Amino acid sequence: MWRHLAFALAILAGIQDAQATIVSASLSHAGQALTRKGQWYRFGLGHLPQDSRGQVTGLSWQINSLTPWPQLPLLLLCHDSDCRRLDSVAGRSRHFATQTSRGEWSVFIALAGAGTQQPSLRVTGISLTVDVRSGR
C-alpha cells in the first residue's frame, strides 16, 4: 500500500512540475556618469512584467562602462529592501532564489576610495535577467 501511495505522490509531483514553466524577463538602465568615489549611485531597473512573476530561480547581470574600471566597484543588487553584494560587473547567481519576483529591482554602485573620480567613469548600461518559475 505504501508503495502505491509513494508512486501516486511521485506522479502528482511530476504533474505539478510539468505545469510550472521557467520564464526569463530582462530589465535595464541606460546608465550615467560616476563622478565621486565612495558615493552610492542608484540605478532603478523597475518591476518585472506581470506575466513574468513567480519564484526566482536564478539571475544574471551585466554592467557596461565606456572605459575599463580602475578597480572593482562596490556593487549591490537589491530586490525591494533586500540587497545582496555582487562580486563582479557581470555574472550569474542564485541570489534571491525561492523569493517571489514581485517588487522593484535596482543596482547600487560605489567606486572605491574618496573624492572626485578623474576622469568620470561612464556606465553605459546595466542589464538584469531574472529567471522565474511560474506556476501557470
State pLDDT tens for residues 2-22.
444 344 444 444 444 445 677
Main-chain dihedrals φ then ψ at residue 37, nearest 5 degrees: -80, 145
What is the widest separation between alpha-carbon atoms in the chain?
74
- 62-97, pLDDT tens digit by residue? 999 999 998 999 999 999 999 999 999 999 999 899
- 89: nearest Cα among 126, 42, 131, 34: 126
Residue 15, SS3 per DSSP: helix
Tell me 103's DSSP state.
Answer: S
Q: Using alpha carbons only, give the angle 44, 45, 50 rounded to the nearest 5 degrees.
A: 130
Mean pLDDT (the chain, rounded): 85
- How far is it, in rounded angstroms, from Cα 49 to Cα 106? 15
Q: Could you read off the pLDDT of 18-48 as tens digits, one per residue? A: 456 778 888 899 999 999 999 999 999 999 8
Full-model pTM:
0.81
For residue 56, count other CB atoms closer than 10 A to its CB. 20
Per-residue model confidence (pLDDT) at position 7:
44
Residues 6+ positions from 113 with CB-CB distance below 8 Å: 37, 38
CB 63 within 8 A of CB 89: yes
Q: How far apart are CA 21 and CA 55, in angstroms?
A: 10
Residue 38: what pLDDT? 95
pLDDT at residue number 6: 43
